[in-house]
Amino acid sequence: MTLWRKALLVAVGALVLVAGELTGFAVTGASAATTQPCDIYAAGGTACVAAHSTTRALYGAYNGPLYQVRRSSDNATRDIGVLSAGGYANAAAQDSFCANTNCLITVIYDQSGRGNHLTQAPPGGFSGPAPGGYDNLADAKAAPITINGNKAYGVYVAPGTGYRNNHTNGVATGDQPEGMYAIFDGTHYNGGCCFDYGNAETNSRDNGNGTMEAIYFGNIKVWGYGTGPGPWVMADLENGLFSGVNAGYNSNDPTVNHRFLTAIIKGEPNHWSIRAGNAQSGGLSTYYDGPRPNVPGYNPMRKEGAIILGTGGDNSIGSAGTFYEGVMTSGYPSAATENAVQANIVAAGYATGTGGSRTGPITSGVNSAKCMDNNNAATTPGNKVQMWDCNGYAAAQNWTVNSNGTITIGGGCLDITDADYSDGTLVEWWPCNSGANQQWQASNGRLVNPASGKCLDDPQHNTANGTQLVLWTCNGGSNQQWHLP
């Protein structure tokens, strides 16, 4: 064996050992199952200080929990781990635990071993809609996907949902260098503030320019923006979303809406960068690489080191998005390291497949003996979708909740009549046509149409047989709660 090969084997073995020690969890087998993003960052000299994912391990040796769910039937909790060290989420464990009831994601565990777990965000400059001013937790069933053919779930953030850790270990502060990436659903976004993942204030309030450094994704244009209609990857540096050196427009920051999107922000003294790419194929593009914004307060930066997901630094809660995985590093990663991470992400095999679909009755939160019913199982366009006694009539009551956002039965879709998003518009059966009025996302037990932000509603809590369902402004009522298959 040549000397360079011996050196390479020693280096790889040391890297695996370090990764196993950092996780703080038991590792099965004699070595890592594979090389994963945080192994690549460590090899590049910019180790992960936070690693969050609900879909897979981010270290080749990681064999601990990815996230925790809590079910509504009895408030019991369950950690969801990986199928094997360095592998994919055990979605079957969630499906079994959450069968016939709703589940929320309560903890997103940090795989780095530093304990930088994400939990329900507390109130700050803005209060959330949950008791005590906390933010909502994400519906654990709301974002099903497949990864390398294995079923997994993302973190679906509807406005009002957020996670945070204000007491972190090892995250960059002040002007210290750092990098971060996240995998988002590039088709799920809005113009609210602010769908972020990254470094934020430790008191959940706006502490001035330069006190944040986080990835933003969406199409708000209040501060910075790029070309086209959006969405854009930008940096939330507090009191500004920046697409370049200036507040406002950057012609080099394009609209990006890949179904699975790799988004990168990194910063060091008076230098920062935006990069992004398709998480399913190809490499990364650089949209900005240059000095800090030419506005007072951003050079030097005054980062505080908290971690946020789904909200702004001051707990602004108007945003929407879906998160699958992300990390934060110590030090400014090289482009070569990030390119290797992107190759790893592409190889992971994110996809929207049938593995994310589930079929069965959808029951009412007002009366669980009542089911959403396609009247007489008819397939006539405009057929009434109604409340009816659950009767096992599969052709009328066995709905399929699909990973593409549709809810189908009998070859047709749950449809908002004429794409009229006014309160009280009737919901019906209609042939599937890829319209925005046929899109639904589960969120905290509700079925929300993303185009309108409104909920599927049992009018006036009336569960009498034949009551036709409607679209209505989301209000948290039990008549907008649905138990999915």
Quote the pLDDT of residue 26.
31
CA 264 – CA 262 distance, rounded (Å): 7
454-457 β-sheet, strand order? 441-443, 446-449, 454-457, 470-472
Task: Show the CA angle centred on residue 141, arms to residues 140 and 147, nearest 5°.
Answer: 95
Question: Closest Cα partner for 53 from 22, 94, 24, 82?
Answer: 82
- Contact indicator for 93, 83 with CB cutoff of 8 Å: no
Entry pTM: 0.72
Residues β-bridged to residue 155? 323
Neighbouring residues of 219: CB distance < 8 A, sequence distance ≥ 6: 189, 190, 191, 225, 229, 230, 231, 232
Residue 165 makes CB contacts below 8 A (sequence gap 6+) with 116, 117, 118, 119, 306, 307
CA distance 310 to 297: 24
Q: How far apart are CA 313 and CA 202, in angstroms?
A: 9
Pairing status of strand 196-200 against strand 213-218? antiparallel
CATH number assigned to the domain covering 358-483: 2.80.10.50
Is 201 assigned a catalytic role?
no
Question: Splitting the chain (485 residues) into consecutive groups of 10 residues, what average pLDDT does each group show?
Answer: 33 35 30 78 98 98 97 97 94 93 97 98 98 97 90 95 98 98 95 97 98 98 94 97 89 94 98 97 97 95 98 97 98 98 96 69 88 95 96 90 86 96 96 91 77 91 94 90 84
Three-class DSSP labels, the chain: CCHHHHHHHHHHHHHHHHHHHHHCCCCCCCCCCCCCHHHHHHHCCCCEEEEEECCECCCCCCCCCCEEEEECCCCCEEEECECCCCCEECHHHHHHHCCCCCEEEEEECCCCCCCCCEEECCCCCCCCCCHHHCCECEECCCCEEEECCEEEECEEECCCECEEECCCCCCCCECCCEEEEEEECCCCCCCCCCCEEEEECCCCCCCCCCCCEEEEEECCCCCCECCCCCCEEEEECCCCEECCCCCCECCCCCCCCCCCEEEEEEEECCEEEEEEEECCCCCEEEEEEECCCCCCCCCCCCECCEEEECCCCCCCCCCCEEEEEEEEECCCCCHHHHHHHHHHHHHHCEECCHHHCEEECCEECCCCCEEEEEHHHCCCCCEEEEEEECCCCHHHHCEEECCCCCEEECCEEEEEHHHCCCCCCEEEEEECCCCHHHCCEEECCEEEECCCCEEEECHHHCCCCCCECEEECCCCCHHHCEECC
Q: How much is the pLDDT for 393?
A: 84
The domains of the chain are located at: 37-352, 358-483
The 10 Å CB-count burial string (b at 16+, else e) for 46-55 is bbbbbbbbbb
And the tokens for 201? 């204030």
Query: Among the CATH numbers 3.40.50.10320, 2.60.120.200, 3.40.50.20, 3.40.640.10, which is that of 37-352?
Result: 2.60.120.200
Chain centroid offset of residue 183 CA: 8
Residues with Cβ within 8 Å of residue 321, at least 6 apart in sequence: 157, 184, 185, 188, 189, 190, 195, 217, 218, 310
Q: Given the residues 178, 238, 325, 458, select the one marked as catalytic.
A: 238
Q: How far apart are CA 428 and CA 144, in angstroms?
A: 24
Q: Residue 478 corresponds to which tokens in the numbers above?
A: 């039990």
Residue 353: what pLDDT? Answer: 59
Q: Which among 261, 343, 329, 345 is positioned nearest to 41, based on CA atoms?
A: 329
238 classed as catalytic = yes
> Which amino acid type is present at position 128?
G
In the chain, the largest separation of any two C-alpha atoms, in whole Å, equals 79
Q: How far apart are CA 147 and CA 57, in angstroms?
A: 12
- Within its chain, how far is the Cα of 413 from the centroid? 25
Q: What is the dihedral of CA 52, 54, 56, 58, to 10 degrees?
A: 0
Catalytic residue selected from 314, 325, 415, 458: 314
- Point out which residues pair with 199 in neighbouring strands: 213, 307
